[in-house]
Amino acid sequence: MAATGTSETLDGHQDGPHGQVESNVGRYSSVLLYNGRPHVFYWDQNSGGLRHAYDNGQFWAFETLDRQLADPDIPPPA
């Protein structure tokens, strides 16, 4: 039997509630479960920030953990 799943847009290109941004986000994403709840970490290309989205049991909450991170695809200057 094949497994089925669902998907949803969490952040980006919308001015949503709870800390969402209108930005190009989602590259270099990573997901983990903590206390049974999903946490998603991803890069915000517009601000260069590391973003964190998590299900707090009522809604998805968002925060920027770090700003001005370099694009992982571009090597740092020598």
Model confidence over 1-49: pLDDT tens digits? 677 777 777 776 555 566 677 777 777 889 999 999 999 998 888 777 8
pTM of the model: 0.69
**Predicted local confidence at residue 72, as pLDDT:** 57
**Predicted local confidence at residue 45, as pLDDT:** 80
pLDDT > 60? residue 77:
no
Tell me how far apart the alpha carbons of residues 2 and 22 are, in angstroms, rounded to a whole number: 35
**Predicted local confidence at residue 1, as pLDDT:** 66
Q: Which residues pair with 30 in a beta bridge?
A: 41
> What number of helices (H) and strands (E) belong to the chain?
0, 4
Mean pLDDT of 50-63: 88
